[in-house]
């Protein structure tokens, strides 16, 4: 159990049966009376936010969250199939649940999926993935102004900006947190 004095930004607690993360936190001690803990909370299931004030005597249950390593298998329509690497159990996540992570899914990619009880909440990708460029405009020699980039399409369908010397068929490393080009990958 958490006490009100344990509250801080980023802490995940359970209120009314749902998991919440504290997004903002402030402490106030009026001249008389109990200390007040003002928190802005975000529901980890549906994303709704609200503010609530707690007193120093309040206590909270930790959110029942756990991460599982799962492997991306395939997608059909707007659902993405993942397999638990230990039990081989398969689950499907929707486009809303995976959000922009779908731009970096490659076969057999291992990801971390956050669960609340048996309900999947979110996905954490590895920091870097290697993807193949399937469409790139040709580079005109002499068009080498420093800092210049060009758009390319990756085999996942994602478009990113890369240096002008990147060509079709090349493998590149992409940062999944920012969607930025990192380097060419030598095979």
pLDDT, position 146: 53
Write down the residue that tokens 């290697």 correspond to. Answer: 130
What tens-digit pLDDT sequence spans the chain (187 residues)? 899 889 999 999 999 889 999 999 999 888 887 889 999 999 988 889 999 999 888 999 999 899 999 999 999 988 999 999 999 999 999 888 888 899 999 999 999 999 998 889 889 999 999 999 999 888 766 655 555 888 999 999 899 999 888 889 999 999 999 999 999 998 7
Kindly state whether residues 94 and 78 are assigned to the same domain. yes
Kindly state whether residues 43 and 12 are assigned to the same domain. yes
Kindly state whether residues 46 and 98 are assigned to the same domain. no
- SS3 call for 4: helix
Long-range contacts of 89-93 (CB under 8 A, 24+ apart): 91/120, 93/120, 93/123
Residues 6+ apart with CB under 8 A from 47: none
pLDDT, position 35: 86
Give the Å distances, CA to CA, from 140 to 105, 124, 171. Answer: 31, 38, 20
Kindly state whether residues 142 and 173 are assigned to the same domain. yes
Kindly state whether residues 158 and 176 are assigned to the same domain. yes
Kindly state whether residues 10 and 50 are assigned to the same domain. yes
Kindly state whether residues 8 and 49 are assigned to the same domain. yes
Name the domain boundary from 124, 142, 162.
Answer: 124
Q: What is the DSSP letter of 131?
A: E
Give the Å distances, CA to CA, from 170 to 133, 167, 175, 183, 184. Answer: 6, 6, 16, 11, 7
Kindly state whether residues 107 and 142 are assigned to the same domain. no
CATH number at residue 114: 2.40.50.140
CATH number at residue 25: 2.30.30.30
Identify the domain containing residue 114 by its residue range: 65-124
Kindly state whether residues 51 and 79 are assigned to the same domain. no
Name the domain boundary from 124, 144, 168.
Answer: 124
Measured CA to CA, the distance from residue 145 to residue 22 in angstroms comes to 46
pLDDT, position 16: 87
Q: In the chain, where does DSSP find H-type helix?
A: 95-98
How many independent structural domains does the chain possess? 3
Name the domain boundary from 22, 42, 62.
Answer: 62
Kindly state whether residues 119 and 152 are assigned to the same domain. no
Kindly state whether residues 26 and 73 are assigned to the same domain. no
Kindly state whether residues 44 and 80 are assigned to the same domain. no
Find residue 163's DSSP bridge partners: none
Number of H helices, E strands in the chain: 1, 16
pLDDT, position 141: 64
pLDDT, position 143: 58
């Amino acid at each position: 159990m958490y006490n009100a004095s344990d509250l801080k930004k980023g802490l995940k607690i359970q209120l009314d049966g749902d998991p919440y993360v504290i997004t903002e936190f402030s402490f106030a001690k009026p001249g008389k009376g109990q200390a007040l803990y003002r928190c802005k909370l975000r529901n980890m299931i549906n994303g709704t936010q609200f503010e609530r004030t707690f007193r120093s005597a309040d206590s909270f249950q930790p959110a029942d969250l756990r991460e599982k390593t799962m492997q991306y298998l395939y997608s059909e329509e707007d659902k993405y199939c993942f397999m638990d690497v230990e039990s081989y159990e398969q689950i499907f996540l929707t486009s809303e649940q995976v959000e922009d992570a779908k731009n970096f899914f490659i076969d057999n990619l291992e990801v971390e999926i956050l669960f609340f009880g048996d309900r999947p909440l979110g996905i954490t990708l590895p920091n870097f993935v290697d993807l193949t460029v399937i469409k790139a405009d040709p580079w005109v020699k002499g068009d080498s102004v420093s800092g210049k980039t060009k758009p390319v399409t990756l085999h996942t369908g994602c478009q990113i900006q890369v240096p002008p010397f990147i060509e079709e068929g090349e493998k590149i490393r992409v940062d999944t947190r920012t969607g930025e080009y990192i380097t060419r990958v030598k095979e």
